Structure 1
Amino acid sequence: MRSQPHVLGIVLAGGEGRRLYPLTKDRAKPAVPFGSSYRLIDFVLSNLVNGGYERICVLTQYKSHSLDRHISQTWWSSGFHGEFITPVPAQQRLGPRWYTGSADAIYQSLNLIFDERPDYIVVFGADHVYRMDPSQMVARHIETGAAVTVAGIRVPRAEAKAFGCIDSDDDGTITRFIEKPSDPPGTPDDPDVTFASMGNYVFTTDALVDAVRADAADPDSDHDMGGDIIPAFVSRGEAYVYDFNDNEVPGETDEDKGYWRDVGTIDAFYDAHMDLISAKPAFNLYNQRWPIRGETSHLPPAKFIGGGSANDSMVGAGCIVSGTLQSSVLSTDVVIEDGAVVQGSVLMPGVRIGRNAVVRNAILDKNVRVADDGQIGVDLDHDRETYTVSSGGIVCVAKNETIG
């Protein structure tokens, strides 16, 4: 007999991530490397596993090879107690078509639910950077008796126009769910902030199954969880908001409590990396009481030689630094040659920086080469002719490029 409710985790990992191009040129957004040793999907999977949920299906679709391989190699489970973490590609079980939206992804994967027969289903997104104990949200969901509970994070009203926004009454029942409103609603206890949807949901199983079936039969639906499924529950008074502020994670600090970032753009992705490297980081990767699990590289420790130095930076295994590193994040197996200067940049696995090269405010994807005396991020007008430059002035270079 189970002493805890039977919960199935479903992670939605099929999005293209167009705004994060060129980092998503050859991979799904959840597979994009992040923070030296991780991929974006590692954050949601770590939260679910740390919270005690180890039966997890990851629904994939877009350019999913590297994502599938990462899950299989990094998130392997013995299954001794029936646990599993498995990628599930679009299978066309209901006809020759791919997923048409996040709700359709669940509808086409109902066999997973029927096989597992959970009491509740946790449906989380795959591409946000945060810590959260989902078991606390599940407990609140059970306590309220709602059909669906939506995680909401408090953001200033002036910034809420870019999000799906939640209007609720005093007991937490959602009265409106509005996508990117011009006049976001305030929370019941603070008119100057808004509940923005985090894209994390807890469903009572029968309610979710009925909802996606009804949605599939609606020819006018976009088959989207946030755009169609949640508003349907709201219209019936069956949706509840869970305040992310109430979530308590072991080992969290005053600086990183309540941290959540949607890294859907180049600038947001860059800013989230900069959040990692201050003395008191806005997001602390070193919390061993709620660890974020990432790739095991089997590489030797990082090495600094010939006067190589790093300040306010994070350096991954296998790196060899002979130049100067300032306010940057290096993934694994990066080499910075003598005389090179790297400032305010994110370098992904296998990047090589040549002698006397200069790299500033840049994101260099896997295996990018900067030649001796090469420059990137110094002359943005010149960089725009060849590379992607964000609105915030961050230069992003795709995999395997050579910068002369």
Structure 2
Amino acid sequence: MENVLTIILGGGKGTRLYPLTKERSKPAVPFAARYRIVDIPLSNSINSGFRKVYVLTQFNSASLHLHLAQTYQFDSFSRGFVEILAAEQGFSHAGWYEGTADAVRKNLHHFRTQNPSHYLILSGDQLYRMDLREFFRFHVERDADITLAVTPVRREDIGRYGIIVSNESHRVKAFEEKPDPRGETEHLKSSQIVPPSHREQGKHYLASMGIYLFKAEVLEKMMEGPYTDFGKELIPAAVREYAVYSHVFTGFWVDIGTIRSFYETHLALATEYPEFDLYDETSPIYTRMRHLPPCKFLNTKIDTSLVGEGCIIKNASISRSVIGIRTVIRDHSVLEGVVCMGADLYETPAQKEENVRKGIPHIGIGRNCHIKNAIIDKNTRIGDNCRIGVDPKERRNGDYGSYHIRDNIIVITKNQVIPSGTVI
């Protein structure tokens, strides 16, 4: 297991998560009040004993690099590391990644220095908790060249994933990327290895989770081919040439790569018994140690919500929300169904005096505000008496200067200033 090298694919521009990816890469987007999205796959890998990790990205990687450097520091005896590999130019290539497989190919010279026996490839924008040691054992016991992690899905969802057909020994016989749910091809046959409990839920098909385990020599050989993407090209070709197996994962798993899924996943985390448990001490989610003070609540009502460290909330009402670190919420404000990412700093008295002189609100949420169905990015300044997302109406997707709308969710981007009295 020491020779397993983990590669986390950070994705491209993160257009599906825009505007949250306007100034940062997708793995660096804040998550669940105190984490970053990249902490999820990294924690799965570390908890499973795979501690040699590269994170591949090419867009807005500065904040991600800072987070990784401040968070994942192994001692000199563990031989572990977490390093970011941003797209770079060299004599053999121009630099930009053309797809997931191309990203791996262009960094192969870095990976080979670790002399790995296996490559474990993870996606950087999924929420799940998996014992990857079990995945590895499954791969070794079958002497597989490649093993795919798969999960049961309903027919209406198959157009979003790569769909596989496996025999009773879990050998993959066919793979098709995002097939038409209305089709009737070989790839859309109901899988016989789906557990009965999932069949009862109407989940008869097996979807690739974008988690792959390769023998090192197999991946390196396939990197000599013309493939630029794993799902669209490399995996379908590998099924025809190599021993490819499917490992069925029946736990909670969700792609958090869109604004809607990002928002809904957050609100679900705040329920009493969420499918993804942040409080599992046997398999913790790691993140940066900030040494923040405890939260301060003054005459405040909070229900079905998560609140990060260091928040100051006074005379407010908060329900079905996730409140990030250092958030300041002032008198008589109401938040319902809000994902607030918090702030990078506390303002000093001198800075607050300067805000008053400039006529801008302090960082945080002002007095007498009512906010619903919104995502508020870091360091946002919302003035007094603002109404955001309260009026029940269908909103068109678009970019409106200080805010954006995606799937009827209002997104206020990082560092924005929302003047007092604003109605959105």
Length-normalised TM-score, structure 2: 0.86
Which residue type is aligned with residue 210 of structure 2? Answer: G
Q: Could you tell me which of 45, 65, 68 is aligned with 1:68?
A: 65
Match of 1:159 among 157, 160, 168: 157
Per-residue CA deviation, residues 123-182 of structure 1 (Å, 9 max, x unaligned), is: 111111110111111111111112111110111122222211111111111112111112
Partner of 1:196: 207
Q: Residue deviations 1:97-134, cap 9 Å, x none?
A: 32111111111111123211111110111111110111
The aligned runs of 1:78-227 (5 Å cut-off) are 78-93=75-90, 94-183=92-181, 184-190=188-194, 192-215=203-226, 221=227, 223-227=228-232
Match of 1:397 in 2: 412
370-379 or 356-365, larger mean C-alpha shift? 370-379
Q: How many corresponding residue pairs?
A: 381
Report the counterpart of residue 261 of structure 1 in structure 2: 254
Q: AA paired with 1:395?
A: I
Residue 19 of structure 1 aligns with an amino acid whose one-letter code is R
In angstroms, what is the RMSD of aligned CA positions? 1.7
Q: How many angstroms apart in 2 are the aligned matches of 1:381 and 1:284?
A: 33
The one of 238, 241, 265 equivalent to 1:233 is 238
For 1:15-94, what aligned pairs fall within 5 Å after superposition?
15-93=12-90, 94=92
Matches of 1:186 and 1:369, distance apart in 2: 52
Which position in structure 1 is the counterpart of 2:348? none
Label 1:316 to 1:85 Cα distance change in 2 as closer, same or farther (>3 A): same
Counterpart residue type for residue 367 of structure 1: N
Change (3 A) 1:211 1:237: closer
In our comparison, the structure showing a higher alpha carbon Rg is 2
CA distance in 1, matches of 2:88, 2:48: 29
Q: CA deviation at 1:10?
A: 1.1
Tell me which residue corresponds to 2:381. 369
The alpha-carbon deviation at position 237 of structure 1 amounts to 4.7
Do residues 352 (structure 1) and 367 (structure 2) align?
no
2:244 is aligned with 1:242 = no
> Offset of 1:203 from its aligned partner?
0.2
Q: Which runs of 5+ in 2 are unaligned?
A: 182-187, 344-362, 420-424
Q: Aligned partners of 1:285 and 1:319: how far apart in 2?
A: 19
SS of 2:98's partner is coil
Given that residues 122 and 201 in structure 1 are in contact (C-alpha distance below 8 angstroms), is that contact kept between their aligned partners in structure 2?
Answer: yes
Residue in structure 2 matching 1:319, options 295, 311, 321: 311
Secondary structure (helix, strand or coil) at the match of 1:210 reads: helix
Write out per-residue CA displacement over residues 256-315 of structure 1, whole angstroms, 9 at most, x where no aligned residue: xx111101111100111011111112211011110001122221011101x112111111
The one-letter code sitting in structure 2 at the alignment partner of 1:340 is: S
Q: Of residues 276, 281, 288 in structure 2, which corresponds to 1:288?
A: 281
Amino acid at match of 2:282: R
Instruction: Give the conservation status (yes or no) of the 8 Å contact 1:7–1:120.
Output: yes
Name the CA distance, whole Å, in 2 between partners of 1:237 and 1:167.
Answer: 15
- SS of aligned partner of 1:79: coil
Q: Is the 8 A contact 1:274 1:328 kept in 2?
A: yes
Question: CA offset at residue 14 of structure 1?
Answer: 3.8
Cα distance in 2 between the residues matched to 1:382 and 1:371: 22
Q: Is the aligned partner of 1:298 residue 2:285?
A: no
Q: Deviation per CA, 1:163-218, whole angstroms, max 9, x where unpaired?
A: 11111111111112111112344212457521111110000000000001123xxx
Deviation of the 1:334 alpha carbon: 0.3
> 65-74 vs 184-193, which deviates more?
184-193
Q: Residue 361 of structure 1 aligns to a residue in which SS?
A: strand
Q: Indicate conservation of the 8 Å contact 2:9/2:56, yes or no.
A: yes
Cα gap change, 1:168 to 1:155, in 2 (>3 Å): same
Q: Kindly indicate whether the alpha-carbon contact (under 8 Å) linking 1:308 and 1:338 is maintained by their aligned counterparts in 2.
A: no
Indicate conservation of the 8 Å contact 1:175/1:237, yes or no: no
Matching residue's letter, 2:301: S
| Paired amino acid for 2:225 | A
Q: Which stretches of structure 1, 4 residues or longer, exceed 4 Å deviation after superposition?
A: 380-386
Counterparts of 2:242 and 2:415 in 1: how far apart (Å)?
51
Structure 1 contact 56–85 (Cα < 8 Å) conserved: yes
